[in-house]
Structure 1
Amino acid sequence: MYVPASVDSDRPQQRVLEAATEIPGGHVTGWAAFAWAGARWFDGLDGNGNARPVPIVITNHRYRSRPGILLTAERLPLSQWYVLDGVSGTHPLRSAAYEARRASSLRRAVVVLDMALQTDRISIAELVEHAGTLNGWYGVEQFRQAIGLADENSWSPMEPEMRLHWELDLGLPRPLCNHPIFDLAGNHIGTPDLLDVEAGVVGEYDGGLHLAGERRASDIQRESLFRRAGLEYVTMTSIDRRDPTQFLRRTKEARERVLRLGPERRWTVDQPAWWTPTVTVEQRRSLTAADRERFLRHRAA
């Protein structure tokens, strides 16, 4: 077996393919199974941008872990693996559970589950059922806690990070994720990353793509529309990911300010009859292929 020199061996799917070829009879799992299936947010990198090993479930002990490959001998029923484009991988439920159980922290486990749920290949109800079959497995308690904090409608890894700052660090009620907001006439105002329904505070993450050109102008217009409807607005940036202290302060002050002033609410989360809801996995699974392209393409933006 060989790889042509023109092939980029650092690409996640190429790494998965090469690792799977080295371990005949193995089944790729965790991030690698999602990456091979084309899931956007499973790039196989750690928090420092370093390549993580490809996890592979083996059913015998002829092989040993080696650089770039991490072997696990956890039991694997026949019903929990399948073959996609010539590579054997574990079922999405099993792959998500593996990642969450072995994540470096509870927060990281939540991010993993949110991004797995975004693929619509699993749901929270299915995760709960699967967790019930893992009594005594390594990391299962972290997996169960992560399920309780996961959301089916995150669009990027930064959103669960921000949401957990609100929930765990500030003790705020769970916000809605990417939930559409309408004015009282039923017109769509916008769909923010987070919404504190109780206080009327919108939370948005601004990464590098938000800093220039038309994207920045669009963000300014969005903020204006939210404020005009009586919503307070708070932004998290990439700097806040390294040290969230100031973001937490801004959020706390924004919430106190809006609750103290008590502005008239000119907005609602009640969806008008013409709107097609897509905030749950079940709702998205029910869409036709054409409707998925129409209503969900923003998730890849």
Structure 2
Amino acid sequence: MSRFAEEWAQTRVSRSRADWARREIGRGTLRGQRYDRATPGYYRATSGQRDGEGAVVNSAQRIRDAQSVMPSGALIAGWAAAYAHGIDALDGLDHLTMKPLPVPVLLPPGSRRRSTPEIRYRQSIRQIRGDVIEGIPVTMLLRTAYDLAREAPDLTEAVAALDAILRTRRLKPEHLQRNLGRIAGHRGSSQARQAVDLARIGVRSTWESRLRMLAVLELGLLDLQPNRAVFDHQGYLLGIPDLLDVDAGLALEYDGGTWRSDRAEGHRDRDQHREDNAREERLERAGLIVVRAEKRDLTTYRRQLIGRIATARADGLRRDRTRDRWTLDEPSDWYGYDYYC
């Protein structure tokens, strides 16, 4: 079950002040602790799902709040449509600040709305066909993917969004390539085309995507393989590095909070830390070089990380390959990547 589906069961319906008045709920009551303002002029029963600064943390609730004020023919779009489609990683939280992003809403032709802190409106030049998920009209997944790639702040974030969508296997790279003509001439189409070329199946988190894009854009490492299983010569699994440079024998690992959560921050749990250390030791004994990175390496210490990867790769290219004790050849009883993820 997707996170959206789990959160949806906890959402509350937003109603206008007039609607609440017809139910004999006055303004004074709406301003009390039992109700929350969802959007300007709309309130709902409080759910208690807010962060320390009062922002709603249930992304499905924010989507439902936006739906309550959408005009007929409008569609939930962008990250919110992706989240409704089951793309858990695209949950509408800024990847650096973890603050909620506005819910994107695509207006039908002729309809105009002023954006608010909660909702970002944009107008379509023609009527767009959409899907309906839990009663919410959303852009279709292919359109959602292109919108995210076109409107991302940079190429890295565009690729991270497409990687997250491809991970679900709901779309395939050939679907994205085959339909690129649909976005010809649209704003951001050039970035979207680049992102489609660079997107990969098998990436497990958006931070892995950002690590890969750093290596691609800064070091030109276009052939990194995401989550490729590595074995010893007896067929035993050594590990599944986040990114593998086969030629250099270089494994890049992103240290998130835990492999079970794309959103976890801070210290990794002890079990995960022990597993990571054991896997790194196995890979290095077999002749691979491992470079680990975490969130601050990709932000505050970005230049240092680029240098570390470049140095490690140079060492790997100079290694004595006759001493390698690893292979990508899969044993006959290998269940595959999905079984172990």
TM range (shorter): 0.7 to 0.9
Give 1:27's aligned residue. 75
TM-score by length of 2: 0.77
**Greater Cα offset, 266-275 or 109-118:** 266-275
The 5 A counterparts of 1:135-146 are 135-146=184-195
Give 2:44's aligned residue. 3
Q: What is the rounded CA distance, in whole Å, between the counterparts of 1:117 and 1:48 in structure 2? A: 25
Q: What is the rounded CA distance, in whole Å, between the counterparts of 1:77 and 1:276 in structure 2? A: 45
Q: Give the alignment's Cα RMSD to 1 decimal.
A: 1.9
TM-score by length of 1: 0.87
Structure number, greater radius of gyration: 2
Aligned length: 281
Per-residue deviation, 1:126: 0.8
Secondary structure of the structure 1 residue equivalent to 2:318: helix
Q: What is the rounded CA distance, in whole Å, between the counterparts of 2:48 and 2:111 in structure 1? A: 29
Give 1:225's aligned residue. 282
Distance 1:7 1:126, change over 3 A: farther
Q: What is the rounded CA distance, in whole Å, between the counterparts of 1:178 and 1:110 in structure 2? A: 16
Distance 1:191 1:106, change over 3 A: same
Secondary structure of the structure 1 residue equivalent to 2:228: coil
The 5 A counterparts of 1:219-298 are 219-242=276-299, 243-263=301-321, 264-278=323-337, 295=339, 298=341
Give 2:248's aligned residue. 199
Distance 1:214 1:10, change over 3 A: closer
Secondary structure of the structure 2 residue equivalent to 1:275: coil
What residue identity is the alignment partner of 2:295?
S
Secondary structure of the structure 1 residue equivalent to 2:209: helix
Match of 2:91 among 43, 65, 79: 43
Distance 1:145 1:237, change over 3 A: same
Given that residues 163 and 203 in structure 2 are in contact (C-alpha distance below 8 angstroms), is that contact kept between their aligned partners in structure 1? yes
Q: What is the rounded CA distance, in whole Å, between the counterparts of 1:140 and 1:157 in structure 2? A: 21
Q: What is the rounded CA distance, in whole Å, between the counterparts of 2:215 and 2:273 in structure 1? A: 25
Distance 1:19 1:212, change over 3 A: closer
Secondary structure of the structure 2 residue equivalent to 1:120: coil
Q: What is the rounded CA distance, in whole Å, between the counterparts of 2:271 and 2:134 in structure 1? A: 39
Match of 2:120 among 70, 75, 80: 70
Give 1:285's aligned residue. none
Q: What is the rounded CA distance, in whole Å, between the counterparts of 2:45 and 2:248 in structure 1? A: 57
Secondary structure of the structure 2 residue equivalent to 1:261: coil
Per-residue deviation, 1:173: 4.1
Q: What is the rounded CA distance, in whole Å, between the counterparts of 1:173 and 1:73 in structure 2? A: 36
Q: Which has the higher helix share?
A: 1
What residue identity is the alignment partner of 2:325?
R
Give 2:135's aligned residue. 86
Higher RCO (CA-CA < 8 Å; seq separation 6+): 1
- Report % sequence identity: 33
Q: What is the rounded CA distance, in whole Å, between the counterparts of 1:165 and 1:34 in structure 2? A: 24
Give 2:207's aligned residue. 158
Given that residues 112 and 123 in structure 2 are in contact (C-alpha distance below 8 angstroms), is that contact kept between their aligned partners in structure 1? no
Q: What is the rounded CA distance, in whole Å, between the counterparts of 2:152 and 2:282 in structure 1? A: 39
Secondary structure of the structure 1 residue equivalent to 2:64: helix
Per-residue deviation, 1:203: 0.7
Q: What is the rounded CA distance, in whole Å, between the counterparts of 1:37 and 1:110 in structure 2? A: 18
Q: What is the rounded CA distance, in whole Å, between the counterparts of 2:319 and 2:172 in structure 1? A: 39
| Per-residue deviation, residues 130-165 of structure 1 (Å, max 9, x unmatched) | 212221111111100111111111100111111112
Secondary structure of the structure 1 residue equivalent to 2:179: helix
Per-residue deviation, 1:241: 1.5
Q: What is the rounded CA distance, in whole Å, between the counterparts of 1:104 and 1:98 in structure 2? A: 12
Gaps of 5+ in 1: 279-291
Secondary structure of the structure 2 residue equivalent to 1:222: helix
Q: What is the rounded CA distance, in whole Å, between the counterparts of 1:222 and 1:54 in structure 2? A: 40
Distance 1:56 1:211, change over 3 A: closer
Q: What is the rounded CA distance, in whole Å, between the counterparts of 1:185 and 1:262 in structure 2? A: 20
Distance 1:30 1:199, change over 3 A: same
